[in-house]
């Protein structure tokens, strides 16, 4: 049975086509202004990559913040459900999934079947998710994708006092004026987000194996900050942004 | 960030009372309020307001403190040597080099508010550049309950500046413009300034006019502030200090939701902290002289 | 005359996180300081009441703007125990808004 999982996030739409637990194709499209159009585009791109037509898809399931607006999925799965399902499929020893996107962070406690036992959110505050890193990358005048690698060259931890993305931008400007090395600022920024995420992870407790997914998992500086803060290794799957969509596709096959 | 655009910039100014003569004064006291966004200085002669200044804080607190007091003294012939007691307050209070004592804004604002609005004031809302304070006080301006939020930009001047910048409207016009809507729109749903900004951008793309977007944001800000005030239990009379008092868009909506009118003062709402500091300075100098 | 209620913490997009200390009830005994596993409290001269003689408990600067995160380990979503700081405070001067 071929199924499609659609993850409509704040910034991007991801689609995964799966058959018998195997990924056939995946696609990622910026959500933009017209999310429905982006969703259709993402599905079309995934279908083209798999060499399939829409009729071949026997089940659709949507997840993500925009899942209610998915034009062709009649069923939904929560982000925590999708994250757990997708991640345990990729790593069966996984018991904690930390999903950090642009606007939200989630920690999920799950069992060996990918079923959700408990969860905690970081939401509605930009300081607790990827938006914080985005704002600071702007203030540092580096492209977002370079923020992580830059932070890894830091040799000194620097204190950031601001706990708000807006105030932190001013603080970064002040630090730059005080000649603080950019890599140290970058590291402080990513460590700050990591520490906020980890505080919420504590609510559901630590237990190996811990996986990190979502857009921020692509940021090596953030991943390093998470490892340092958790004092343990975290598993980052190959395509961390697609785990939610994968989980939705697997759920559609049940 | 957007240092090149000027939309966030408000007017800096100074004033002194030409009819007063500081050489006749028994006690000359000063209060300097170094905020993260703006700095004020107030000079009193025997407890009467003589001079003040209001300007954007520089990168450096000590320098801002000197600038603030020097500007207040400009044209008066006064110098720091003539000042008997100075109090530093605000975010940068421990870095006012000439201060004889540092006192928090929580203590200074109701003291200043009591002077500016009269002894009937019991609840003061201060929204500064990077913080929001709700203070309940007694008839002497002594604090009975307080909260301060300086963690989150929502409900602060910086939050408002982000919107002024987004809409390319000068911060001084934001309030009035937001009141020019025919019908009050739904408030923006995000309290977080970053997310509210994305929401506002989407509304603009949908064709919302600027005044409507501003109304939606001012409305959300006002509501958020009311919930903070409720935590310390609002008691009349109610007064607003700090820069936001000049934003009619937030003030009117606040008054509406509270069912209370904010008291008016002939003094600039931004000097409450410095004024309270100067009043403390006067009291402390009096106490010191008594021995 | 003393301040009655000091609220430390913040409100942000994700909620209200305030620790309130009734400074009339607080006698500066300091029992809350070691009771908190994360060192949230400090006891000292009250910066907001220059005329108070005895020390008072306050939320320290280190955690004041991070209370949601700092207090999270003591506040699991299920089976939440009585908070150690509240248990330690004999005059019941401490309360949490969440």
What confidence score (pLDDT) does residue B2 get?
A: 41
CA triple A5-A10-A15, angle to 5 deg: 20
Of A118, A123, A161, nearest to C14 by CB-CB distance is A123
Per-residue pLDDT band for A252 (boundaries 50, 70, 90) equals very high
Mutate to test the interface with C, among A10, A199, A204 (most CBs of C within 10 A): A199
Cβ of C66 within 8 Å of Cβ of A163? The answer is yes
The answer to whether residues B147 and B125 touch, using CB atoms and an 8 Å cutoff, is: no
What confidence score (pLDDT) does residue A164 get?
A: 96
Distance CA A123, CA A79 (A): 13
Q: Given a cut of 70, is residue B7 above it in pLDDT? A: no
Judging contacts by C-beta atoms under 8 Å, the chain A residues touching residue C77 are: 118, 120, 203
Which class would CATH give B13-111+270-290? alpha beta
3-state SS, residue C56: strand
Judging contacts by C-beta atoms under 8 Å, the chain B residues touching residue C98 are: none
State how far residue B221 is from chain C, nearest Cα, in angstroms. Answer: 12
Helix, strand, coil distribution of chain A in percent, nearest 5 = 50, 20, 30
Cβ of B158 within 8 Å of Cβ of A170? The answer is yes
Of A164, A199, A203, nearest to C77 by CB-CB distance is A203
Nearest CA in chain A to C72: A203
**In angstroms, what CA-CA distances link B16 with A38, B12, B13, B26?**
61, 14, 11, 18
CA triple C37-A165-B34, angle to 5 deg: 85
More confident residue, C2 or B269: B269
Q: How do the domains of chain B map onto residue ranges? A: 13-111+270-290, 120-262
Each residue's pLDDT expressed in tens, for chain C with a length of 98 residues: 456 899 999 999 999 999 999 999 999 999 999 999 999 999 998 888 877 889 999 999 999 999 999 999 899 888 889 999 999 999 999 999 99
> A94: which residues sit within 8 A by CB, 6+ positions away?
A87, A88, A110, A209, A210, A211, A235
10 Å CB burial of residue B89 (0-12, 13-18, 19+) is buried
The candidate with the shortest Cα–Cα distance to B117, out of B258, B249, B245, B278, is B245
Judging contacts by C-beta atoms under 8 Å, the chain A residues touching residue B36 are: 170
Judging contacts by C-beta atoms under 8 Å, the chain C residues touching residue B91 are: none
Of A33, A167, A177, nearest to B153 by CB-CB distance is A167
Nearest CA in chain B to C19: B147
Q: How many CB contacts within 8 angstroms connect chain A with chain B?
A: 45
Asked if C23 is an interface residue toward chain A (Cβ–Cβ < 8 A), one would say no
Edge-to-edge order in the sheet of strand A2-8 = A22-30, A12-19, A2-8, A59-63, A75-76
The answer to whether residues A95 and A208 touch, using CB atoms and an 8 Å cutoff, is: yes
Nearest CA in chain A to C74: A203
For the segment B83-137, what is each residue's pLDDT rounded down to a tens digit?
999 999 998 898 999 999 999 999 999 999 999 999 999 999 998 888 999 999 9
- State what percent of residues in chain A have pLDDT above 70: 100
Rounded average pLDDT over B210-238: 94
Distance CA B236, CA B139 (A): 11
Rounded average pLDDT over B57-72: 92
Angle between helices A144-152 and A130-140 (to 10 degrees): 80
Asked if A33 is an interface residue toward chain B (Cβ–Cβ < 8 A), one would say yes
Cβ of B153 within 8 Å of Cβ of A166? The answer is yes
Per the rule left: phi > 0, alpha: psi between -120 and 50, beta: everything else, B41 is beta
Chains contacting C (3+ CB pairs below 8 angstroms): A, B
Per-residue pLDDT band for B1 (boundaries 50, 70, 90) equals very low
What confidence score (pLDDT) does residue B3 get?
A: 45
Judging contacts by C-beta atoms under 8 Å, the chain C residues touching residue A126 are: 13
Q: Read out DSSP for A73-85?
A: --EE--HHHHHHH
- State what percent of residues in chain A have pLDDT above 90: 87
For the segment B152-201, what is each residue's pLDDT rounded down to a tens digit?
999 899 999 999 999 999 988 998 999 999 999 999 999 899 999 999 99
> For B195-215, b where at least 16 C-beta lie within 10 A, e where not — what string?
bbbbbbeebeeeebebbbbbb
* Length of chain A, in residues: 254
Question: Looking at domain B120-262, which CATH architecture does it have?
Answer: 2-Layer Sandwich (3.30)
Of B104, B154, B192, nearest to C48 by CB-CB distance is B104
State how far residue B137 is from chain C, nearest Cα, in angstroms. Answer: 9
Rounded average pLDDT over A163-183: 94
- CATH number, domain of C67, equals 3.30.70.20
Rounded average pLDDT over A50-64: 93
State how far residue A126 is from chain B, nearest Cα, in angstroms. Answer: 6
Cβ of A124 within 8 Å of Cβ of C65? The answer is no
More confident residue, B28 or C76: B28
Structural domain span for residue C46 = 5-96
Rg value, chain C, Cα:
13
Q: Domains (ranges, CATH) in chain A?
A: 1-91+239-254 (3.30.420.40), 92-236 (3.30.420.40)
Provide the domain count of chain C.
Answer: 1
Distance CA A94, CA A88 (A): 5
The answer to whether residues B27 and B46 touch, using CB atoms and an 8 Å cutoff, is: yes
What confidence score (pLDDT) does residue A74 get?
A: 77
Angle between helices A165-177 and B157-167 (to 10 degrees): 90
The answer to whether residues C16 and B231 touch, using CB atoms and an 8 Å cutoff, is: yes
Report residue A210 CA to chain centroid gap. Answer: 14
Q: What is the mean pLDDT of chain A?
A: 94
Per-residue pLDDT band for B65 (boundaries 50, 70, 90) equals very high
Q: What is the mean pLDDT of chain B?
A: 92
For the segment B201-223, what is each residue's pLDDT rounded down to a tens digit?
999 999 999 999 999 999 999 99
**In angstroms, what CA-CA distances link A91 with A21, A144, A209?**
13, 28, 9
* CA within 13 Å, CB half, B233: 6
Cβ of C72 within 8 Å of Cβ of A123? The answer is no
Per-residue pLDDT band for A87 (boundaries 50, 70, 90) equals very high
pTM of the model: 0.89
What confidence score (pLDDT) does residue B47 get?
A: 95
Segments in C4-52 forming alpha helices (H): 32-35
For chain B, the residues whose C-beta falls within 8 A of a C-beta of chain C are 101, 103-104, 106-107, 138, 142-152, 154-155, 190-192, 195, 224, 227-228, 231-232, 280
The candidate with the shortest Cα–Cα distance to C32, out of C82, C97, C69, C84, is C84
Cβ of C69 within 8 Å of Cβ of A203? The answer is no
Chains contacting B (3+ CB pairs below 8 angstroms): A, C
What confidence score (pLDDT) does residue A144 get?
A: 94
Nearest CA in chain C to B152: C12
For the segment A205-244, what is each residue's pLDDT rounded down to a tens digit?
889 899 999 999 999 999 999 999 999 999 999 999 999 9
The answer to whether residues B56 and B38 touch, using CB atoms and an 8 Å cutoff, is: yes
Instruction: Report the DSSP pairing between strands A12-19 and A2-8.
Output: antiparallel
Q: Given a cut of 60, is residue A145 above it in pLDDT? A: yes
What confidence score (pLDDT) does residue C49 get?
A: 80
**In angstroms, what CA-CA distances link B22 with A171, A190, B25, B48, B84?**
40, 54, 5, 11, 12
């Amino acid at each position: 049975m071929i199924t499609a999982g659609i993850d409509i996030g704040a910034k991007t739409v991801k689609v995964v086509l799966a058959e018998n637990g195997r990924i056939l194709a995946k696609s990622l499209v910026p959500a933009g202004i017209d999310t429905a159009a982006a969703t259709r585009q993402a599905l079309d791109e995934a279908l083209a990559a798999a060499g399939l037509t829409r009729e071949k898809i026997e089940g659709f399931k949507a997840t993500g913040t925009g899942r209610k607006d998915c034009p062709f999925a009649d069923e939904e799965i929560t982000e925590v459900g999708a994250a757990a399902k997708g991640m345990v499929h990729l790593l069966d020893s996984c018991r904690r999934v930390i999903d950090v996107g642009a606007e939200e962070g989630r920690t999920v406690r799950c069992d060996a079947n990918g079923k959700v036992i408990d969860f905690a959110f970081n939401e509605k505050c930009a300081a607790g998710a990827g938006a914080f890193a985005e704002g600071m990358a702007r203030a540092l005048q580096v492209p977002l994708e370079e923020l992580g690698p830059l932070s890894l060259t830091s040799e000194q931890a620097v204190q950031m006092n601001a706990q708000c993305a807006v105030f932190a931008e001013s603080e970064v400007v002040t630090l730059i004026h005080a000649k603080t090395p950019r890599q140290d600022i970058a590291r402080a920024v990513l460590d700050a987000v990591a520490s906020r995420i980890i505080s919420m992870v504590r609510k559901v407790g630590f237990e190996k194996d811990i996986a990190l997914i979502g857009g921020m998992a692509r940021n090596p500086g953030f991943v390093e900050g998470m490892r340092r803060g958790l004092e343990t290794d975290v598993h980052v799957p190959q395509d961390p942004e697609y785990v939610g969509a994968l989980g939705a596709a697997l759920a559609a096959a049940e | 960030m957007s240092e090149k655009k000027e939309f966030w910039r408000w007017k800096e100014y100074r004033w002194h009372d030409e009819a007063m003569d500081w050489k006749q004064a028994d006690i000359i006291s000063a209060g300097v309020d170094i905020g993260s966004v703006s700095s004020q200085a107030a000079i009193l002669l025997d407890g009467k307001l003589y001079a003040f200044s209001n300007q954007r804080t520089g990168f450096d607190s000590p320098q801002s403190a000197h600038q603030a007091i020097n500007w207040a003294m400009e044209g008066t012939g006064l110098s720091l040597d003539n000042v008997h007691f100075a109090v530093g307050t605000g975010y940068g209070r421990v870095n006012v080099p000439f201060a004889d004592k540092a006192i928090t804004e929580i203590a200074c604002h109701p003291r200043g508010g009591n002077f500016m609005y009269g002894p009937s004031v019991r609840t003061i809302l201060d929204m500064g550049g990077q913080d929001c304070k709700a203070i309940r006080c007694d008839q002497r301006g002594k604090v009975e309950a307080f909260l301060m939020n300086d963690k989150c930009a929502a409900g602060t001047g910086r939050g408002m500046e982000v919107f002024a910048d987004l809409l390319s409207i000068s911060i001084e016009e934001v309030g009035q413009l937001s009141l020019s809507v025919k019908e009050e729109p739904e408030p923006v749903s995000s309290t977080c300034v970053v997310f509210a900004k994305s929401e506002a951008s989407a509304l603009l793309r949908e064709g919302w006019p600027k005044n409507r977007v501003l109304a939606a944001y001012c409305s959300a800000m006002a509501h958020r502030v009311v919930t903070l005030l409720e935590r310390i239990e609002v008691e009349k009379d109610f007064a607003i200090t700090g820069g936001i008092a000049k934003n009619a868009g937030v003030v009117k909506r606040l008054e509406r939701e509270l069912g209370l009118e904010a008291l008016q003062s002939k003094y600039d709402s931004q000097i409450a902290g410095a004024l309270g500091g100067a009043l403390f300075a006067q009291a402390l100098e009096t106490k010191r002289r008594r021995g | 005359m003393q301040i009655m209620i000091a609220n430390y913490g913040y409100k942000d997009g994700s909620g209200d996180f305030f620790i309130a200390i009734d400074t009339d009830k607080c006698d500066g005994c300091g029992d809350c300081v070691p009771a908190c596993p994360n060192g949230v409290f400090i006891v000292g001269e009250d910066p907001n009441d220059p005329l108070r003689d005895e020390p008072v408990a306050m939320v320290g600067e280190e955690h004041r703007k991070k209370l949601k995160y700092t207090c999270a380990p003591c506040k699991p979503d299920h089976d939440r125990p009585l908070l150690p700081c509240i248990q330690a405070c004999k005059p019941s001067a401490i309360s949490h808004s969440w």
